[in-house]
Structure formats: structure tokens, C-alpha cells
Structure 1
């Protein structure tokens, strides 16, 4: 048996990747220094692979995003970016003023850049797989190049339509037309053939191609396309190992019949792939790469159970390798430096580096190594002991009734009450919650956490930041204010600090997109709120102004989906536990006089199962969890926020959440997302339109933002519309935020006057 791993985090143990990118963007290092640092990081990762598994991957280390790299490989560069100028254009496509749209990768919290297909021509533009393979070969490593497959590339891309006008508007749509998809697939396959042929000529023996889109609901004609793609690629004569993950393949029989030499199956996300293997067998002429080590959760595997599974699989597959279920970049690099976890937790954890060790142990145990077999037996004993239980939390869950999951007063009646109380103008302006977390803010937070300043000193500092941001918002003219969230490291981690049953790490960083990192909390036990979490800062902010200040909470579904969660109870129960803790906070805020409470759910969409047959079960508890925590008084206006999500297919479920106002991203898609609300008959909730792309340092003009609003006004009643950035401003600098928000408010005020004047 071989051990095969893929998707190891590119971040580095000390966040070297993040430092390299951000220092380059700030001009602190030049292009040559950036490349040198990336090469060092690449070799460090290669050594980790070599120490633990039998295959060293290449072409995994992207400078920003692997889908962007694939787009460049096949020449899918929208015309608006002009002549390609190396990294200048690369980062312009990633984070510039007219950057590619960004959205969630399948049902994960990784954000990818959505390739835009203009026309129907592809060409081999940048052969990064070959360049990377040759780099490693010069350094003495024989590697297997990794590629995103052509089928998945097309399924995850959009075709670009261009509208005229002084300021061009770009509209995108998924490539769902059969004839168009087939034409594009044929042309794309030619480029992939050229890539594989160049690798073969360079001495490469095999490639690793990832086709996670095979787990989507897939029509038979789409499988026909896949068969044609791999029929062509197989002619090159390079060993092809095909990988799927995040769910079971949509058609097991057609998947295992593809003309390739090895097939990976995710045997963790559910039991369907395993059932198909048992029912239908596995081809004798193919290698089964068994994804038995969970690539998305940080828990140590029960290696005893995994070894039994591998032994069972060996009865069906003549050639068997052990692997992770999905890419390891959903995990922190290593648990080694974590010394402040709750007692007994660290020994239960396994991050990416430790997962490599688990793969090595399983391989060696399967092959008869006595030391590895002893290690396998030890893992079972540890994981079978109870951990983190709370009887009071369990009691609250079992006591829930149907009325606990709905607000007492219907929306139409709530709207009238709230309108009389808040007295907001047409197109009310606000922001999503966070403001720039400057170097000073980060230093003071670190000083507090390391004991260099007292709690009182830290609180006084946070008060000064709140005073500044309230004054700034009033000066700019925003209608609904926020307290800035300077005390919060991260919108989920902040609450994890304050909830029992949830642990946080000091070094457990994971990439979300680009260089942006976060530390997912670890839900290891029953969740409860020992005391108020946000009351002090929000009520202080409200005391400084007559304008309403929003209470800012992160919703239960997002806290769950952006955390690692225990696997011994259903996800629905964990969500309800978190929702009850948040409900306690909502009641405290209401009692303190806070009239608007925003409960953010940016991860509501990403948790959706990949197959529609599984949607109802997910949405039934996800909607109820939000409604449980938002069971506020009728006069309390409940907001929620969602960003970078495909809303079209889930708009019905979003409506069932029963909020009063939702704010959404609309800037990168130039308002395209509004179509989802247009198609929903009877939509009557207020919507905050994200007119300002906060993920770009570019300052939007009033004209650019007005275009997005005008697009929204064509399909939604103007009385429903709010104006806001598309996400929080935490990652931006004040010198970018100030002019952008001034432009945004002035645009809203001018538009308000035009509409009222009947222009």
C-alpha cells in the first residue's frame, strides 16, 4: 500500500506565505524576493510530503488562487485586463478595481476567484504545471503535477456577457447550455492535452487531476462530456489519477469507468461511495485511492476503525492506496505549538502535519509494521472516552418547542413599528460592522493577550477607538452606525473566546482567500454563554450618539460552519446550542435599548449540501437555528449579512429566516446577484446593496456605486433598498475607507434627492 496526500496548506508554520504576499504588495520586497521566498516555502512543503507519504505533488503552491492559475494556464483572461504583464496583471485580476468575482469553493470557507470565459477560444498561455515540475526536478524531487480538471474548471466558471455604456457593466452566468459546454470542453481539452504532452516530454510519469465537480448533481450528457475529455487525455500516455471530494460522486458507475489509471473517493463525507464499492465492486485495472483521513476536521482519526476499513476495501480493489478525503488546506498546519488548549483537548487533535503522520501510520500498519499497529490500537482507547458534556445545555435543547423557532409578530406589522421608531430616510446608509484594524489595534490586542497591559488599559484603548469611529460615521453622514469591532480578532473567534465548550488556538491559522487568514475555533463540547459577550462595547457606542447603533452578532450557522465541530452529536443540535447562547445575548441587548441587531450569516450558503436531495434536511435546521436566536421583540429590527454566495437557488430558504433586513455583496458582480431577489415572487424584505468592494484597495467612485443601485432599483422597490459596503472594513486602511464611504454616502444622498424630485 502507498500513502498519498494532497492539498497541504501553503501558509507555512509561521505564516510565511501571508508575509511574502503582503510585503510584496506593500513594496517591502521586490518580485525576485517574492519568488525566492515562495521557492523556499515550496521546498519545505515537498520535504514534509517526502517524510510521510509516497507521492510529492507539484503545482499546488499558488500565489493567490488555484482557479486563477488554471484560468491563466488556458488563457482565460478577460479583455478588460489588457495585455498580460506578469504579476501586475495577476494581482489585478485577483484584487484590483475590476477583479474577478469571488465566491465559496463548493461548501467550504475557502473563497476562489471565478474564471470568466469571454468567447470560446482557449490556448496554452502559462504552462505552470510544467514550470513547477521542472523546478522540483532541478532540486532533486520527482513530483506528480496537480491540476484542476477541465470539467470542474468549466462547472465553476462563468461565461461573461458585456454590456455597453460609458462605464461597462459585466454580467456573468454559469455555463449550463449543453452545446456551449460541449464546445468549450472540446477546446479546453486540447489545451490540457498540450500540457500533459509537455509534461510527458519532460519525463513526468503521472499527473493528479482534481474533479470535485463530479460530486454535484450531474446530468448524463455531462458525464458524456467527462468521458470525452478523459478519452482524449488518456491518449497522451501519462498515468492519470483522478480525485473527487466533499461528497460522493453523482454516478459511481460512470466515474469508475473513466479511462484513467487511478480513482480517489471521499470515504468520510458520507457512506454512499463505500456503499457503491460494496454493491458494484471496483475495476480490477484501476488503483483505488481511499480518502479515509478527514481533510476538513481536526480530530484524530480512530486509526483502528480506519485500518479495518482499508482491510475491507482491499477485498474490492487489487491496488489500494490510503489518502485524505479532501484537500488538507482546510486545516491549520500543525497542532505542535498549541499549549493553551483546554485540558485533554490537544491529544485529541490532528492538523495537516499530523494528518500526514496518520496516513504514514495507516500505510505502515496495513503493511504489517508492528510499531504502527501499536499506534493504531492506542488511538481507539483515547477517542472512546466522553468529553465536554454539559447537562444544563442538554436540558435546554430537549425543552425547545415549535414556538421557540418563530417571532411572535409577522414582518409587515414589525416593519410599521420599526419605521415609526427608527425614522430612517430613503436608501439608509450603514456599514457591515468592522472598521480598519490598524497596526496599533493589533499591537494593543497582542499586548493585552500576552499580559503586557492590564484589562483596564485595554478596555480604555477600545473605548477611544469606538469614540473615534462613532465621530467619523457621524461626520460622514451614515444613518445607522456600528461600534467598529476593534475588540474582535475575527467574527467567529471573538465569540468562541466567550463561549463555553468552544476552544481557540494561538497558531491555528487557515487561509480564507489571498493572504487573508482566520483561526477556526474548535467546538469540542456542549456550548453555552456564561455571561454577556458584546453588551459593554455596543452600549458604550450607543451612549455617544443619537443615531441607532447596531448590535453586532455572528449567527449560529456561521459560527458552526466556520468552526471545527464535534462529530458525536448532530450538527443541528450544535447549531441550536449556539443559537440559545446568542438568544440570551439578543435579550440583553434589547433590554439595554439597542433597536437594531445584526446577526451575520455569511456561511449560511456554504454549508448547503452539494446534492439537492440533501438540501431539505440542512435548511430545516439552519433556518430554525437563525430563527431561534433572532426571536426578538417586534420593535427590534433584525438584520443579517451574507457575502459572496450563490443565492439564486436558495432564495426561498433565505426568506424563511424571517429577518427584517439582509445586506449582500453586489459590487464585484455589478448587481448581478439582484436577479435572485427579482425572481422570487413576493419578496418584501429590505435589502442592503453592497455597492463597494472592500476586498480591493481601490476607492470606488460615486458613479460606479450608483450603477449598482440603479440596477437594483430596476427590479426591487426603492423603499426596500439600503446602501452599504459589501462586507466588513476590517482589512482595509483608513485612507481607503474614508474617501470610499464619503463617496458612498454622497451617492446615496444624491440618489435620494433625485428620486424624491422625480428625476
Structure 2
């Protein structure tokens, strides 16, 4: 499977989540409770996954995903399946130095008793011959979403999570996943830790994988806490500069990042020259649907610093908080914008 998307120039994909149907969860809401239970919930999630896949296919997305239809949240749904974390014992912590959240507590050694997403990935694999990408939370972002009363060391806990993620990733690969992506928004915040052990724990999570691997580093969903934080970052967002040199040297294949409507200077991409880059050309913090030409313009700018055979047009982040109609429009714009550039490159 590994080479199936290599022959397509600028293969498109999404960063991860897509809106859930209203019969499964509350629309445009993060952490929405499920509206179904038991057997109906299992069936409802599978139906939602099919719908999400269909919408990606209709929009012309090349590398498809589950749209994260079977999970409530990109981090905690994975953690819920692990031993050593008590969800009834909650503490308030500061998430990525931005907002307070009530989170579960690590009370003992963390371990994974059984696969978390492997059945869902197998189900997705049965529905399509297209290359599929699966997202997992990265070790640093996982520890940032917990209160640790056991290890009392962010680094120790991150290494434990990296081992667990590696077990899951190997089984996802065996289930037919072509790209495994680790979501690490925390890489944009904890710069010293990223370079001291964050990238090293990420490399531990991908150890021994033969499929392609990606790390997604963004400025977050379009929720108020994130948009308020962005307003404090000034006219140039240079956070990527801190992690890029070490990521460029790392064994991760693809770096996924936020470009469109952001204040990230495009020339920072020069720091990861040689890596494949998923260039976020769709802004997920607005309901305005990009025109294909706006998408093309972001991709054109990126092509100054990324070779065409290494550029993967993508969304800035997940689209869970958006309406399905807006998400649909944005996916179509992404495909159409990539097509404009493909034509330009083939001349």
C-alpha cells in the first residue's frame, strides 16, 4: 500500500476531525456527548464513518480518514482506554498555557490492555481502496491533558505513552493504515521540552513502523480560547522555528502544519526542507469558505520552500466545531485549489 499515493502530485487530505451528523452528537460542539447508546451507538458511529468517508470522496480528497467520527475528543478518547488513569478523580489544569480544563488523574502505571482504534481502522479499510490516514494523540499533548499524581514527571509519563502509542500504531499499520499521524499541538508551546525529549518520545512512538508517519502541529481548533491566544502572538507566528530544526533531523516522514490565514512566515518551511509537508491551506477558525484560488495561492507560496513531490495540501486543523455544510465547502475548495496548482505544474 505504501506507494499508492506517491504517483499523484499534491495528494489532498484533512488534518483529522470532520463534523459529526446531528443524530450521533451535538453539531458544532467539542466534547459533545453521544446521542445513542450501546449497540445503537456502535452502529451509529459506523454509519457516521461511512458518511464522512463518502463526503471526502465526493469532495475529491485523495488520502481519506475516519473523520474521527468514533471519538469524542482527539486526546481523551485514547486515554479512556488505558489503565492507570482515573476519570472519576478530576483536577483542573492549564491546557497548553491557554485555558483551564477539568482532566482525569494518572493514579498508577499506565498501560494498554487492548487496541483502541484498530477495529475502527479495519472497518474504514474495508470501505475503500484509497490510501487512509489515521490520527493518534502525540505523547506530549497527552500528558498536557492530564493531572499526573503517579510519575510526577512530564518526561517519564511521555516515554510511557510513547511505548503505548507504538503498540497501537503497529496494529493500525497491520490493519492497513497508510499514514499514521500524531497530533502534537503542544509542540507549539513547550519549546524546551520539545527539544529535550518531545521529539525523542515521538520517535519512540513510531519505532519500527514501515508505513508513513506524520506529526501535526497546529494552533488549535477555532474555539475562543485558541483564537484569543492567537491575538497575543503578534504579527509573525514563529513558534515552528523552535521545533523545526530538530524535526528536520528526525525520522518522522511528514510534517503537517497551519499556513492559511495564519501569521506563520512561509519561509520557516525552509527549515524542514527535504521532509514531506502537509500544508494547511484551509482555515478552520472561520465559516468563510475559501475560494479555490485562495487555496492555490497558499500552495504556491509553500512551493517556494517545499518541492512539489513533497507537498500535500491539507486543512489547518480539525473541523469538528464547524457545520457540515461549511466543512463540505472547504473540502471541495481544497481539492479545486490543488487541481489549479497541478495544472500549473504540468505545463
Task: Please give the range of the TM-score, normalised by the shorter of the 2 chains.
Answer: 0.7 to 0.9
Contact preservation (8 Å) 1:437, 1:731? no
Among residues 266, 279, 296, which one is paired with 1:706 in the alignment? 296
Contact preservation (8 Å) 2:214, 2:254? yes
Among residues 662, 667, 676, which one is paired with 2:268 in the alignment? 676
Q: Which has the higher contact order (CA 8 A, sep 6+)?
A: 2
Q: Deviations over 1:23-50 (max 9, x none)?
A: xxxxxxxxxxxxxxxxxxxxxxxxxxxx
Q: Deviations over 1:257-290 (max 9, x none)?
A: xxxxxxxxxxxxxxxxxxxxxxxxxxxxxxxxxx
Aligned-pair distance for 1:650?
2.6
Hey, what does 2:217 align to over in structure 1? 642
What SS does the corresponding residue of 2:51 show, helix, strand or coil? helix
Contact preservation (8 Å) 2:75, 2:145? yes
- Seen in structure 2, the aligned counterparts of structure 1 residues 588 and 568 have a Cα distance that, compared at 3 Å, is closer
User: Which consecutive segments of 4 or more residues in structure 1 shift more than 4 A?
Assistant: 505-513, 516-519
Aligned-pair distance for 1:667?
1.3
Aligned-pair distance for 1:630?
0.7
The TM-score normalised by the length of structure 2 is 0.85
In the TM superposition, what are the counterparts of 1:320-719 in structure 2 within 5 Å? 418=2, 420-442=3-25, 445-448=33-36, 453-454=37-38, 456-504=39-87, 520-566=103-149, 568-608=151-191, 615=192, 619-634=195-210, 636-644=211-219, 646-669=239-262, 672-678=264-270, 680=271, 683-719=273-309
Q: Deviations over 1:373-420 (max 9, x none)?
A: xxxxxxxxxxxxxxxxxxxxxxxxxxxxxxxxxxxxxxxxxxxx94x3
Among residues 320, 326, 347, which one is paired with 1:730 in the alignment? 320
Q: Deviations over 1:584-625 (max 9, x none)?
A: 1011112222221111111123223xxxxxx3x652321221
- Seen in structure 2, the aligned counterparts of structure 1 residues 505 and 479 have a Cα distance that, compared at 3 Å, is farther
Aligned-pair distance for 1:546?
0.7
In the TM superposition, what are the counterparts of 1:221-232 in structure 2 within 5 Å? none
Aligned-pair distance for 1:490?
1.2
Aligned-pair distance for 1:438?
4.3
Hey, what does 1:745 align to over in structure 2? 335
What SS does the corresponding residue of 2:46 show, helix, strand or coil? helix
Q: Within 2, Cα distance between the matches of 1:425 and 1:457?
A: 39
Whether 1:754 aligns to 2:344 is: yes
Task: Say what the alpha-carbon RMSD is for the aligned residues.
Answer: 2.6
Aligned-pair distance for 1:572?
1.7
Gaps of 5+ in 2: 27-31, 220-236
What SS does the corresponding residue of 2:285 show, helix, strand or coil? coil
Residue-pair matches, total: 323
- Seen in structure 2, the aligned counterparts of structure 1 residues 510 and 752 have a Cα distance that, compared at 3 Å, is farther
Q: Within 1, Cα distance between the matches of 2:243 and 2:209?
A: 27
Contact preservation (8 Å) 1:437, 1:486? yes
Higher-Rg structure is 1
Hey, what does 1:216 align to over in structure 2? none
- Seen in structure 2, the aligned counterparts of structure 1 residues 479 and 604 have a Cα distance that, compared at 3 Å, is same
Aligned-pair distance for 1:746?
0.7
- Seen in structure 2, the aligned counterparts of structure 1 residues 582 and 427 have a Cα distance that, compared at 3 Å, is same
What SS does the corresponding residue of 1:441 show, helix, strand or coil? coil
What SS does the corresponding residue of 1:472 show, helix, strand or coil? helix
- Seen in structure 2, the aligned counterparts of structure 1 residues 447 and 519 have a Cα distance that, compared at 3 Å, is farther
Q: Within 1, Cα distance between the matches of 2:340 and 2:215?
A: 26
Q: Within 1, Cα distance between the matches of 2:308 and 2:95?
A: 34
Aligned-pair distance for 1:482?
0.5
What SS does the corresponding residue of 2:180 show, helix, strand or coil? strand
Contact preservation (8 Å) 2:93, 2:103? yes
Q: Within 2, Cα distance between the matches of 1:542 and 1:487?
A: 15
Q: Within 1, Cα distance between the matches of 2:295 and 2:102?
A: 33
Contact preservation (8 Å) 1:496, 1:521? no
Q: Within 2, Cα distance between the matches of 1:568 and 1:738?
A: 43
Contact preservation (8 Å) 2:108, 2:150? no
Q: Within 1, Cα distance between the matches of 2:242 and 2:119?
A: 39
Q: Within 2, Cα distance between the matches of 1:587 and 1:733?
A: 34
- Seen in structure 2, the aligned counterparts of structure 1 residues 744 and 502 have a Cα distance that, compared at 3 Å, is same
In the TM superposition, what are the counterparts of 1:113-152 in structure 2 within 5 Å? none
Q: Within 2, Cα distance between the matches of 1:655 and 1:473?
A: 30
Aligned-pair distance for 1:564?
2.2
Contact preservation (8 Å) 1:496, 1:503? no
Contact preservation (8 Å) 2:280, 2:313? yes
- Seen in structure 2, the aligned counterparts of structure 1 residues 666 and 520 have a Cα distance that, compared at 3 Å, is farther
Q: Within 1, Cα distance between the matches of 2:247 and 2:293?
A: 30
- Seen in structure 2, the aligned counterparts of structure 1 residues 517 and 484 have a Cα distance that, compared at 3 Å, is farther
Q: Within 2, Cα distance between the matches of 1:603 and 1:633?
A: 23
Aligned-pair distance for 1:562?
2.7
What SS does the corresponding residue of 1:604 show, helix, strand or coil? helix
What SS does the corresponding residue of 2:85 show, helix, strand or coil? strand
Q: Within 1, Cα distance between the matches of 2:122 and 2:342?
A: 30
Q: Within 1, Cα distance between the matches of 2:94 and 2:21?
A: 20
